[in-house]
Amino acid sequence: KGCGEFADIAALADWCLAAGLKIIQLLPINDTTATFSYRDSYPYNAISVMALHPNYISVERVYDYYNARIRSIDRETSLYLNDLNMVDYDRTREWKKSTLKYIFSEKMDEIIAEKDFKQYFSENSWWIKDYAAFAYLRDKFHTPDFRKWNECAKHTKKLVDKMFAEGSEERKDVLFRVFIQYHLEKRIRESIDYCHKIGIAIKGDLPIGINPDSVEAWVEPEFFNF
């Protein structure tokens, strides 16, 4: 809602089928959150070559997935954002993040114990732990420029592992980032499978380069000429 979601691709595919179209091309769908503003809507400035953009998550699907016996989510804001003539990128980002944080806070123990979640985390730990740590530090220091992160400016495996350790003050936040990516991948895979099932191809687009203040630049600076 508010900007389009991975869950909307199926409806677009149905329309394409009815119109006699065969291919849907998507612009890059990676996370671009760097300025915390509408400028991040530019899709060719990714802060990760792996992470999907949090704005494309379906909050309602996540809420329903856990059959949440908690306070109802703010569907009025969702409808308001979806009915605007122009995308309110900032408010959409803020609403989704705050609502998902509430769901995760209420259901964290259940979520991280889920078999599928544990499997996803295990299979993707080679990149997602660095991404989650980067996103946490980006928000903490209000900048993706890791050179300004004091003692965290230099990436180390020890630093990242410490954030995920039991009892760490960062653990809940970094796991929250994993939780978002987990549900993003669920939806994009589900939508792509549906497209293929009805004979619609998905063509993806990739940026040529990356943001110099990105996860990859932080983790492996030796590969880049800054």
pLDDT value at position 56? 95
Convert the pLDDT of each residue in 76-96 to its tens digit: 888 888 888 888 889 999 999
Query: In the prediction, which pLDDT does 174 show?
Result: 98
Mean pLDDT of 8-26: 96
Tens-digit pLDDT profile for residues 138-169: 999 999 999 999 999 999 999 999 999 999 99
Gap between the Cα atoms of 1 and 88, Å rounded = 10
β-partners of residue 203 are 25
The pLDDT, as a whole number, for residue 63 is 85
Name the band, by pLDDT with cuts 50, 70 and 90, for residue 1: very low
pLDDT of residue 194: 98
Q: Given a cut of 50, is residue 170 above it in pLDDT?
A: yes
Q: Is the pLDDT of residue 31 over 70?
A: yes
Residue 209 has pLDDT above 90, yes or no: no
Q: Model pTM greater than 0.85? A: yes
DSSP the chain: --S--GGGHHHHHHHHHHHT--EEEE---B---SSSSGGGG-TT--S-SSPBPGGG--HHHHHHHTT--SSPP-HHHHHHHHH-SS--HHHHHHHHHHHHHHHHHHHHHHHHH-HHHHHHHHHHHHHHHHHHHHHHHHHHHTSS-GGGSGGGSS--HHHHHHHHSTT-TTHHHHHHHHHHHHHHHHHHHHHHHHHHHTT-EEEE---SS--SSSHHHHH-GGG---
Given a cut of 50, whether residue 73 has pLDDT beyond it is: yes
Residue 71 has pLDDT above 70, yes or no: no
- Examine the pLDDT at 103 and tell me if it is beyond 70: yes
pLDDT at 210: 82
CA distances from 141 to 59, 146, 151, 189 (A): 26, 9, 12, 33
Given a cut of 60, whether residue 100 has pLDDT beyond it is yes
Q: Higher confidence at residue 81 or residue 130?
A: 130
What mean pLDDT value characterizes the chain? 93
Band (pLDDT 50/70/90 cuts) for residue 226 is confident
What pLDDT shows up at residue 69? 58
